[in-house]
Structure 1
Amino acid sequence: MLVQERSTPESPKTQIRTLPTLHSYRFSKSKSLDFSTWLSENLYKVVTILLLIVTVAALFFLRNVGDTAALLCFQSQTAALEKIQFPKIDWNSIASIPAKSSLYPEFRSEQWIVVSVSNYPSDSLRKLVKMKGWQVLAIGNSLTPSDWVLKGTIYLSLEEQSNLGFRVVEFLPYDSFVRKTVGYLFAIQHGAKKIFDVDDRGEVIDGDLGKHFDVELVGEGARQEIILQYSHENPNRTVVNPYIHFGQRSVWPRGLPLENVGEIAHEEFYTEIFGGKQFIQQGISNGLPDVDSVFYFTRKSGLEAFDIRFDERAPKLALPQGMMVPINSFNTLYHTSAFWALMLPVSISTMASDILRGYWGQRLLWEIGGHVVVYPPTIHRYDKIEAYPFSEERDLHVNVGRLVKFLNSWRSSKHRLFEKILELSFVMAEEGFWTEKDVKFTAAWLQDLIAVGYQQPRLMSLELDRPRATIGDGDRKEFIPQKLPSIHLGVEETGTVTNEIGNLIRWRKFFGNVVLILFCKGPVERTALEWRLLYGRIFKTVIILSETKNSDLVVEEGRLDHAYKYLPKVFDAYSGAEGFLFLQDDTILNYWNLLQADKSKLWITDKVPKSWTTMSAESSDWFTKQSSMVKKIVSMMPVHFQVSHKQSVESEKSVTICSSEVFYVPRRFVADFLDLHGLVGDLEIHHKVAIPLFFTAMDLIQNFDPVLNTMSYREKPAATNSSTIYSVQVPAVHPWNVSNEQDFIKLVRIMAEGDPLLAELV
C-alpha cells in the first residue's frame, strides 16, 4: 500500500518575527493645542491671507467708489505691459556670421534661384537646375521627404537650416514656404547679386532668364532702355491690375483688392522713365498665373486645367511712386539693392505672406529711388488642379485695400533705410496688418543681413512729397493692349467690347462716389464675395451687413428689423460720399437702368403698390404699438419735418409700411436722417415703419425721384427663381434668392443681357 508523504508543518513559534525595539525618542511629546500656541506657529500664514484679502478689497473699492486715479494708474501700467515693444538694436555691434558655418563655406555665385520644396523634385525644378549661370537653392520643410536630393542643387534640410546661426530661424514655421527666408540669407552670404524667387511649378520660357528680365542693370550687359510707366496723373489711383496691359483684362492677380477687380479699362496713356533702377522685377506667368482663390474657384470649369496666355510682345511696365501692384514669390527677380525686401512675414496666413511682403517692400523701395517693373510672360506655370482655400488668403481680402492706403500715407523721419524698415514693420503691427512677432522677425532679419555682409542702400528724397511734374502732350505715350480671347471663360471677345467697356465706365462714373449698403439675409460665407464681385465693379465702396458678423469677409453685424439704426455709422465713415444706396440681397439691382435718376433726390418704392402700403393702426397689436411710437416721434419733430410728414400720410390712424428692400439717401439729406434717427432714440420702431416715416418727413412724396417706381415686385417669393420674374428693362427685381455659388452664376448669366461683361465672371 502506497502512502503519500506530506511535509510536517512548522511549529507556530518558528513563524513569529522579532519586532523591532521602539525607542522613546521616535515619538514627540504631546503639544498643548490652545489658541495662542496655534497662532504663534501659524502667524505668517494668517498675515499672508489678511494681506491678500485687503488687496482684493482695496482694488474692488477703487474700481467702484474710490480714488479712480489710483486704479487708472494700475490699469495703464497693465496696458503698457501689453503694448508692442519697439526692438532696440545696436547696429554697430552685430557680429558677422561667416559662411564657414555652412556645408559650402567656399562656394560663391552671383545668380541664385531660391525655391521651397515639399515633395520630390518636379520636372520644372529639374529644368531650372539646367539653366546656365544660375545656382538653385532648395529649402526644405517638415513636409519634405527625408531622402530629397537633386544633382546640381544645394538643398538645406531643417537641421542644416538650424545650424546656420541665423536669428530668423526661431521665428519660422516648420511646414511653410516662408522658410525661404533662410535661403535668401544663405544666398547673400555666398555672394548673391541677383535672386530669382520662384516655385517648383514654373518653367522659364526658352530656359533663359536673361531673355525676359533685366538681369544686368549696370555694366556691359545692361540694357540702357527707356521703360514705359503708368501715368501718375491721378494721385488717388494707388493700385493697378497689370494683367490688363498684357492682354487679359478679365483676370486679376492674387493680392489685388477685390474692389478693384472691376477696373478693366486699358490706360489712356503712359509716361516713360530711364531704366537702371528696376530693383524688383515681377514676371507674368502663362498657364496658371498668380490668381486668388476667388478667381480660381469661380472661374474653374470642371477639372480642366487653366492655360491662360498673356501678350509676350507687350512692353514691360514700370510703376511710379504712389502706385502699387501685387508682387508674389512665384516669379520675381530681386537685385541686390532690394534684397532687404525679400523677408516673408510669419504671423499672417500663408498665401498672404508674399503679397504683404510685396506691398511693404514697394513702399520702402521708394525711399531708395527704386522701381517695380512688370515684365511680359517669363515662365509657364502648370495648373495641378489644386488651389489654396479662402482661409489661407483671409489676410489679403480683409486687409490689402486698407494696407495700400496706409502705405501711401506713411512717412518716416529716420535717416537710414534699416531704421525705416523696422519702424514701418512696427507701425504695421500697431495697425493690425501683422503681429508683434513680425516686428521681432524684422529685427532678426535686418541683423542677419548685416551679419552676412549685406550693405544697406542709401536713402533718396521721396518723390511723393514733391510737386508732380505736369504731363505734357509730348510726354504721353500710347499703347493699346491686345484683347486676347479668354477661351477658358467661354468668352470670345469681339469688337463690341469697346462699347461694353464704355458702358461700364459710365456706370462706374455715375455710382463711383455712392456707397452701397447691402444687407445679406442669406449665408454670407457662401455669398459675400460674390456680391462684392458683382456690385464692386460698379460701386467703389460696398458695405455688407448681416445678422451674423464675419470679420474674415468684412461683414458687419446688424439686425434687419433695425437696419436703419446702423446707417449713421456708415454716413459718418464715408462723409465724402455723394449718396448711400441701401439694398437687401433678395432684390437685384439693374444698375444700368438707374442712370436717369437724380442723385440729389430721395429714391424709394413709394409707387410700388405691394412694397409701399398703408395699414390701419388697429389691424393688430403690432401695428398699434408701431403707430403709437410713430405718433410719439412725430410729436417731437421740428416744424419742417412734421409738416412734410403730415402732408404725405393719409391719416393719423394709419401706419405707412414700406418693405424697404431698396432706397437711396443723397448727401444733402444725411443731416436730416441723423436728426430723425436721434428722435427715435431707444424706441423699438421697425425698419419697415421707420424708413417711410423718415422719408416723408425729409421731403414731400411728390419730390421723390420716380426711378424705382417701375421695379418688378412680387410680395411672396416663388419656390424657385424664375426667368419670368426677371427683366433687364426694370431698375430692380424682387424677390430673387441667392444662397450659394450656383445661384449666383445663374443670376449673373441672366443679368449679362443688360451688362454683357458680366459673362466674364462665370
Structure 2
Amino acid sequence: MLVQDRYAPAKSQIREIRRFSEPKSLDFSTWVSENLSRIVIISLSIVTILALFFLYNTTDTASLLCFQTQSTQSLQPLTRPQIKWNSIRVLPDKTSPYSTFVTEKWIVVSVTNYPTEELKGLVKIKGWQVLAVGNSLTPKDWSLKGSIFLSLDAQAELGYRVLDHLPYDSFVRKSVGYLFAIQHGANKIYDADDRGEVIGGDLGKCFDVELVSEPMLQYSHEDPNRTVVNPYIHFGQRSVWPRGLPLENVGEINHEEFYTEVFGGKQFIQQGVSNGLPDVDSVFYFTRKTTLEGFDVRFDEHAPKVALPQGVMVPVNSFNTLYHSSAFWGLMLPVSVSSMASDVLRGYWGQRLLWELGGYVAVYPPTAHRFDRIEAYPFAEEKDLHVNVGRLIKFLLVWRSEKHSLFEKILDLSFAMAEEGFWTEQDLKFTSAWLQDLITVGYQQPRLMSLELDRPRANIGHGDRKEFVPRKLPSVHLGVEETGTVSTEIGNLIRWRKNFGNVVLVMFCNGPVERTALEWRLLYGRVFKTVVILSSRKNSDLYVEEAKLDHIYKHLPKIFNRYSSAEGFLFVEDDTVLNYWNLLQADKTKIWTTDKVSKSWTSVNPTGKSDWFSVQAELVKRTVSTMPAHFQVNYKEAAKNSLDALTVCSSEVFYVPKRLVTDFVDLVDIVGDMDLHYKVAVPMFFMSMDSPQNFDPVLGSMVYKKKSSSFNSSLSLYSAQAPAVHPWSISSEQDFIKLVGQMAEGDPLLMELV
C-alpha cells in the first residue's frame, strides 16, 4: 500500500485521463522506461524472498529467530502484560489418567531416548514419584514402570497456557511437568537428568528435603564487589568451574579466608554438586580433554553445605537441584534463549527474586553421579550465555521493583530483562502464561519480605567468622591428570591475594587468545582483582577486548573508569612474565616502570626530520607545549639534561597507582588524535605525572633481553628471583604448562594448574 500511495496520481491528473488513451509503442526500451519503478519493486521483492529462503536453509533456527525477533522488536515496543489475578480460576486435572493421583515429592526429568539405567534407578527411590516429560524426539512407545510419562499428546490435553510458547524438540518442555506435579500435590520437586544417579539412592540423605532451622555455613558478604562464586572450590576442585560462571571469574580460584553462618530453613533452592561429569561448560570440556576417556571428577563428600548471602550468586542447573514449594515459581525454563543457557538464566533470575522472600540458594556436597558419555558439548548453544551472563548478574544486583506482590515483581523483572536483551518478548509472554498457569493448578504465591540488599551491611566481627579449609582433590587441568593430594597450606597465596586483590591486571596478548586467554586468567586471576585481556582482535566469547597496541594508553581510561575502586592498574604484555611474589615490597601508591632497565628505557637523538624518532619527538614537543603548568614543569625537570633527546621505553610492563589515574586520563585527552606511539607516550606521561626519583624501583632488577628469532629457545632465561622476565613466548597450552613449571619455583601451588 505504501508503494501504491507513493506513486498514485494527483486528483487533478485523474480527471484528465481519457477512457481510451493513445496506442502505446511496444518496443522494449520504451516499455522498460515506462515500467522501471515496477521492475525495481518486483526485483527487490524477489531478492528479499530469496534472501529469507537462503537464511532459513543455511543458518540455524536460532539465527533466523534472532533475525525475526530483532525486526519485530524494532517495530513494536515491548508492552508489559497486565493480568487480573483474581479472575483466574483454580482448575483441577480432569483429563489425564492421573487426575485423582496426589503426592508431595516429585522427580521431573526430560526424556529424549529410551529409559536409561540411571533413570530406572530414580524410579526406585522410595517416596518419590518420577515424572518423565517427552518431546518430539522421544520414541512413541516410551515406557518405564513406576513413572508417569507425559507425551506431547498427553501434554496438549492438559490445557496449560504455556503450551502455546514451548518448542516441540527441547528439554524446556519440563515446564509442563513442573505444573503437572504442582497440580498433583507437589511440595518438593527434584529437577533431574536421565543420566545422573542419586548417590546412595536416597534424596533425604543428599538434600534438606525437610527444612529445619539449624546453623549452616554461608559465604561472606564482606567484599561488596564480589557478585558470583565458584562453588566447586569449596568442594575441593579449584580448577573446575560450573557452566554459567562468567569467564572473567574463571581465574578466581582462592578458597574463602572465612565464612559466616546462617540459620537454615529458607534454602528454598538447593543445588547439588555432581561427581563424574560435573556441570561444566564447553570451554572447560574441550580444553581439558585429550583422549576419548570420559571425565570422572570427584568432589569432597565431607565438605559442609554452604549458603549464598543476598548480593552473591552461584550458577544453578536443571539436572541436580531440589526446589521447595516456596520457589516453585522459579522453575520456569526460558524459551527464547539457547538450550544450554536456559536453566542458567533461570537460576540467576530465580535467585534474585528469591531474595524478595528472604530465601536463598544453598549448595550441597556431591548428591549425584553423572556419567560422561563423551558427547561433544555444543559451544554455539552456549555463546549467548558467555556473552551475557556477567552483564546479567550486574543487572540483577541493581534491579528493583516497587510492586507489592511476588508475581507482579516477577513480571517486572521479566519485562526488564526483555528490554535489556537478556531474552526476548517471547519469554515475557511465557512468564505471563506461566504465572497464570501456576494459579490455575492451585499454587499460592509466597509473601514478600524486606530486601536486605537495601540495608547497610553489618560488620563481620571476629566471633562471626567461621573457618573451613577445602581439601584439594585430584582433578584434570589442561588435559594433564593430577594425582595425589596437594597440601592446602596456601598462606603465601592468601598474602599475595591480600596485597594485589584490589589491583587490576591489564594484559595485551600478541599471541592467539583462543589458546591462551583462559590460561592467563587462571595464572594471574588467583592473585589480582581481575585480569582484563586485550588483543588486536575482539573475542566476545572469551571476554577479550579489542585494542591497538601502538596506542594502548588510549584504551586504559575505559578500564580505569570500569574499575574505579581499584587500588591501581598493572599493565603487562604477554611476552613478559610477572613473578608477583617478588612485587610485594613495591609501593602501590607509586609508579612502577623500567626506567632503571637500560635496555628498556633509552634516550634517542633524532637525526633527521622524517625518520620515525624525529616525527615522534615533534609530537612530544607539541603535546608538552599544550600541557597545564604542573605537567609541563614536571616533564621539563625530568628531561632537563636531555631536552632535545627523545625518551623511549619499551613499556612491556608498568603500573599506574589510583592517585595518578586522573592525571593519566588528562594526558591521554591532551594527546587526542595524535599518532603518538605508546613507547613514547607512556614515559612522557610518567615524567609529567611525577619525578622519576619518586618511581618505585621494583622493576629495576627484572630479567630483560632483546628479542631474537630464537628468544624462547632456552629455559635458562627464567629466574624466580626476578620481579619479571622478558621476553617469554606463550602461544599454546603446552607453552603455558612449561612456564608454570618454571614459575612453580616461586609459587609451588601453581602446579595445581598443570
TM-score by length of 1: 0.83
Which residue, 91, 102, 123 being the options, matches 1:129?
123
CA distance in 2, matches of 1:684, 1:730: 34
Partner of 1:632: 622
Q: In structure 1, how many angstroms separate the alpha carbons of the residues matched to 2:739 and 2:167?
A: 43
- Aligned mates of 1:280, 1:287 — CA distance in 2: 22
Q: Corresponding residue for 1:678?
A: 669
Task: Find the counterpart in structure 1 of residue 66 from structure 2.
Answer: none
Letter in 2 for 1:746: K
Counterpart CA distance in 2 for 1:426 and 1:187 is: 27
What SS class does the counterpart of residue 631 from structure 1 fall into? Answer: helix
Post-superposition offset of 1:365: 1.3
Structure 1's 678 and 408: CA in aligned 2 closer, same or farther, altered over 3 A? closer
2:730 matches 1:738: yes
Question: Offset at 1:691?
Answer: 1.5
Structure 1 equivalent of residue 83 of structure 2: 89
Q: Could you say if the C-alpha distance between residues 281 and 579 of structure 1 is closer, same or farther in structure 2, counting changes exceeding 3 Å? A: same
Secondary structure (helix, strand or coil) at the match of 2:680 reads helix
Q: Give the direction of change, closer, same or farther, for the CA distance of 1:657–1:483 in structure 2 (3 Å limit).
A: closer
Q: 1:278 aligns with which of 267, 276, 279?
A: 267
Query: Within 5 A, what are the aligned runs for 1:538-553?
Result: 538-553=527-542
Instruction: Tell whether the 8 Å contact from 1:197 to 1:332 is kept in structure 2 after alignment.
Output: yes
Matched residue, 1:373:
362
Task: Give the corresponding residue for 2:739.
Answer: 747
Does residue 327 of structure 2 align to residue 354 of structure 1?
A: no
Structure 2 residue 152 is the aligned partner of structure 1 residue 158: yes
Q: Provide the residue aligned with 1:576 in structure 2.
A: 565
Does the alignment pair 1:688 with 2:688? no
Asked if 1:363 is matched to 2:355, the reply is no
Query: Quick one: which of 682, 703, 706 aligns to 2:694?
Result: 703
CA distance in 2, matches of 1:590, 1:390: 34
Q: Does 1:643 align with 2:633?
A: yes
> Structure 1 509/429 Cα, relative in aligned 2: closer, same or farther at 3 Å?
farther
Matched residue of 1:598: which SS?
coil
Distance 1:265 1:610, change over 3 A: closer
The equivalent of 1:193 in structure 2 is 187
CA contact under 8 A between 2:247 and 2:543: conserved in structure 1? no
CA contact (8 A) 1:270 1:476 kept: yes
AA in 1 matched with 2:647:
T
After TM superposition, the structure 1 = structure 2 runs for residues 79-478 of structure 1, keeping only pairs within 5 Å, are 82-96=76-90, 98-102=92-96, 104-217=98-211, 225-300=214-289, 302-467=291-456, 475-478=464-467
Secondary structure of 1:552's partner?
A: helix
- Give the unaligned 5+ runs of structure 2: 1-12, 22-33, 38-71
Task: Tell me the CA shift for residue 341 of structure 1.
Answer: 0.6
Counterpart of 2:171, as a letter, is: F
Q: Distance in 2 between matches of 1:142 and 1:753?
A: 57
Q: Which amino acid aligns with 1:630?
A: V
Which one-letter code corresponds to 1:678 in the other structure? D
Structure 1 letter corresponding to 2:750:
L
Match of 1:725? 717
Which of the numbers 594, 600, 624 marks the counterpart of 2:583? 594
More deviation, 352-361/387-396: 387-396
Does the 8 Å CA contact 2:109/2:132 hold for their aligned counterparts?
Answer: yes
Aligned residue type for 2:632: Q
Distance (Å, rounded) in 1 between the aligned partners of 2:310 and 2:20: 74
Secondary structure class of the residue paired with 2:541: coil
- Determine the C-alpha separation between the residues in 2 that align with 1:300 and 1:732: 32
Instruction: Determine the C-alpha separation between the residues in 2 that align with 1:95 and 1:387.
Output: 45
Shift of 1:416: 0.6
Residue 79 of structure 1: CA displacement?
9.8
How has the CA–CA distance of structure 1 residues 503 and 685 changed in structure 2, closer, same or farther, with 3 Å as cutoff? Answer: same
AA at the equivalent of 1:203 = E
**What residue identity is the alignment partner of 1:569?**
K
Question: For 2:571 and 2:223, how far apart are their aligned partners in 1?
Answer: 29
3-state SS of 1:580 partner: strand
Q: Which whole-Å CA distance do the structure 1 matches of 2:378 and 2:495 have between them?
A: 35
Question: Does the residue aligned with 1:543 lie in a helix, a strand or coil?
Answer: strand
1:580, distance to aligned residue in structure 2 (A): 1.6
Matched with 1:28 is none
- Name the SS for the 1:582 alignment partner: strand
Stretch of structure 1 that moved more, 138-147 or 371-380? 138-147
Moved over 6 A (4+): none
Cα deviation per residue 1:47-79 (whole Å; 9 max; x = unaligned)?
A: xx9xxxxxxxxxxxxxxxxxxxxxxxxxxxx99
CA-based RMSD: 3.0
| Fraction of identical pairs, as percent | 71
> What SS does the corresponding residue of 1:375 show, helix, strand or coil?
strand
Instruction: Tell me the distance in 1 between the aligned counterparts of 2:475 and 2:531.
Output: 28
Work out the CA distance in 1 between the residues paired with 2:630 and 2:738: 47
Report the AA paired with residue 202 of structure 2: D
What is the CA deviation profile of residues 239-266 of structure 1, one whole-angstrom value per residue up to 9, with x for unaligned ones? 3333333333443333334444454454
CA deviation after TM superposition for structure 1 residue 475, in Å: 5.0
Cα 1:158/1:753, change in 2 over 3 Å: farther
* Counterpart position of 2:27: none
| TM superposition shift of 1:420 | 0.7
Distance 1:298 1:721, change over 3 A: farther
Q: In structure 1, what is the equivalent of residue 602 of structure 2?
A: 613
Deviation at 1:415, TM superposition (A): 0.8
Cα distance change, pair 450–728 in 1 and its aligned pair in 2 (3 A): same
2:753 alignment partner in structure 1: 761
Q: Give CA-to-partner distance per residue, 1:576-609, whole Å, 9 cap, x none.
A: 2222222222222222221111112212222323
Q: Quote the Cα distance in structure 2 between the aligned partners of 1:325 and 1:115.
A: 22
Aligned match of 2:612 in 616, 622, 635? 622
1:261–1:537 contact (8 Å) kept in structure 2: no
Residue 513 of structure 1, CA deviation: 1.7
Asked whether the equivalents of residues 486 and 493 of structure 1 are also in contact (C-alpha less than 8 Å), the reply is no
What does residue 557 of structure 1 align with? 546
Give the conservation status (yes or no) of the 8 Å contact 2:242–2:279: yes
| Secondary structure at the counterpart of residue 529 of structure 1 | helix
Separation in 2 of the partners of 1:134 and 1:93? 34
How far, CA to CA, are the matches of 1:663 and 1:280 in structure 2? 46
Structure 1 pair 470–174 and aligned structure 2 pair: CA distance change class (3 A): same
Instruction: Measure, in 1, the Cα distance between the counterparts of 2:358 and 2:557.
Output: 43
Q: 1:204, 1:380 within 8 Å by CA — same for their partners in 2?
A: yes
The alpha-carbon distance between structure 1 residues 475 and 601, as it changes in their structure 2 partners (threshold 3 A), is: closer
Measured after TM superposition, the shift of residue 414 of structure 1 is: 0.9
Show the 5 A alignment for 1:4-19: none
Say which SS state the counterpart of residue 540 (structure 2) adopts: coil
Shift of 1:640: 3.2
Secondary structure, aligned partner of 2:499: helix
In 2, Cα distance between the equivalents of 1:599 and 1:101? 71
Structure 1 residue 413: Cα displacement: 1.6
1:68-125 CA-partner distances (Å, limit 9, x unpaired): xxxxxxxxxx999554322222222335554234454333332211112222221111
The SS at the match of 1:149 is coil
Superposition deviation, residue 302 in structure 1: 2.8
CA distance in 2, matches of 1:668, 1:470: 27
Q: How much does 1:41 deviate?
A: 6.4
* Contact residue 648 and residue 700 of structure 1 kept, 8 A: yes
Tell me which amino acid in the other structure corresponds to 1:335.
Answer: H
Q: Report the residue type matching 1:688 in the other structure.
A: K
The structural deviation recorded for 1:653 is 4.1
Distance 2:615 2:475 in 1: 58
